[in-house]
Amino acid sequence: MKLDDTPVPLPWQRREKRFSHNGKFILTVLPLYIFTLAFVAGPLVYMFILSFLQRAEVWGVIGKFTLKNYTDILDPVYLKTFWESIKLAVLTTALTILIGYPFGYFMAKLSAKWKSRMMLFLMIPFWTSSLIRLYGWIIIFRANGPLDKALMFLHITDAPLKLLYTYAAVVVGMVYALVPFMIFSVYSSAEKLDWSLIEAARDLGANPMQAFLTVSLKLTLPGLLSGVVLTFIPSMGLFFIADILGGNKVVLVGNVIQEQLMKAHNWPFAAALAVVLTILTSVMIYLYRRLAKVKDLEGLV
């Protein structure tokens, strides 16, 4: 039997090799940590501290601690804004579920060729600015626009409808902007679904609805809940959609934050509103993780 002539590394050589490997690993992940601290953690900490400072008379802030910014949120006007934002978010989320869940579910059942085509069709609108796409809805909703002409041609209406700058127009804009996130989230879960389980449920006597509720819905629940998070939270703060399609008739929390920053120059109060929204976002993600029993949002990973 021939012995191996490979020299055994000395302890100090093993330590040097381990330190060299750790050093390379640190240099690899260091840019990521620097970016996270500078552009994620830093702004959040600054926003949190700013929310406890006082507003200057003309511009800027005064370095004095106060809770007034948070007590001002309890004003009925701002509480009503939060409530209206939540109602709009609930309605938007419900409509995105009705449209996005069947779309994502059945898209997962397509062949690989058609899956790629549907993914492309869903991604094409993102190649254009969301503002430009929303201005397209203005053309559709305006008086005597394409929608009015089509409805009158079909004798559904006798006169132009006043759809632009209404609550319904804002809801349509919200659903249009957010439904792809619901589709991708549901598709991500449905694609992992073992379809033989549904066939087994049918063989055991379950009708299509029972098989869907007991097998498909439960297994795609993480994707559905992920889509709820990805649509509910943004729909409370997408102020530009309310501005463009609602004409300032629909005011969201995002609109209030924008006005406090750009017009009233009340940075501490705007920061307090943003902190409350951040807390709400964190609560939604926590509930998602508890209900879905997963760590990552479906459709994003």
Dihedral pair phi/psi, residue 55, rounded to 5°: -80, 140
Give the tens place of pLDDT for each residue, 2-49: 545 555 554 545 555 555 556 666 777 788 888 888 888 899 999 999
Same domain, 136 and 184: yes
User: How many folded domains does the chain comprise?
Assistant: 2
Specify if 163 maps to a domain.
yes
Q: What is the dihedral of CA 261, 266, 268, 269, to 10 degrees?
A: -90
Specify if 67 maps to a domain.
no
pLDDT at 251: 86
Specify if 271 maps to a domain.
yes
Same domain, 115 and 20: no
8-state DSSP, 154:
T
Top mean pLDDT of 38-47, 156-165, 194-203, 244-253 is at: 38-47
pLDDT at 199: 85
91 by Cβ neighbours in 10 Å (0-12 / 13-18 / 19+) ranks as middle
Q: What is the CATH number of the domain that holds 117?
A: 1.10.3720.10
Q: What is the pTM of this model?
A: 0.81
Specify if 60 maps to a domain.
no
Same domain, 135 and 84: yes
Same domain, 45 and 85: no
Whether 101 has a pLDDT exceeding 60, the answer reads yes
Specify if 1 maps to a domain.
no
Same domain, 172 and 102: yes
Same domain, 83 and 150: yes
Give the tens place of pLDDT for each residue, 151-189: 888 888 888 888 888 899 999 999 999 999 999 999 998
Same domain, 150 and 221: yes
Specify if 207 maps to a domain.
yes
- The domain of 30 spans 15-50
Same domain, 162 and 39: no
Alpha helices in 108-262 (DSSP H): 112-123, 130-141, 146-153, 167-190, 195-203, 208-211, 217-219, 221-235, 239-246, 253-262
8-state DSSP, 191:
T
Specify if 56 maps to a domain.
no
